[in-house]
Amino acid sequence: MPCEIKTIKDIDAQSGVDQSSVDKSTEKWLQRIHDKLNFLEWYAGHYHVESEEDGIRIMYEDYDEICEENN
């Protein structure tokens, strides 16, 4: 059984917003992608927090260069 994206669930819980009224269609879409892929790193924004857990890095005010490594 696929695992839930814990980082996003934790951020939602910490937001202080009543989650029962929030549209979760984007999270559900991302969950379907997460469940189908094998990845080393996953980068996201939008959540207005900085977080890194289980290979998922959520950036708000931070940035990083993302590029393909040359062998």
Encode the chain (71 residues) as per-residue pLDDT tens digits.
456 666 566 666 666 667 777 787 887 888 888 889 888 888 877 667 777 777 788 887 787 777 767 66
Q: Is 55 inside any structural domain?
A: yes
Q: Is 56 inside any structural domain?
A: yes
Q: Any idea what the Cα angle at residue 28 is, between residues 7 and 2, rounded to 5°?
A: 70
CA separation (Å) from 25 to 22, 32, 38? 9, 11, 22
Segments forming the whole domain that contains residue 56: 27-63
pLDDT of residue 20: 77
Could you give the number of structural domains in the chain? 1
Q: Is 48 inside any structural domain?
A: yes
pLDDT of residue 6: 60
pLDDT of residue 41: 82
This model's pTM is above 0.85 = no
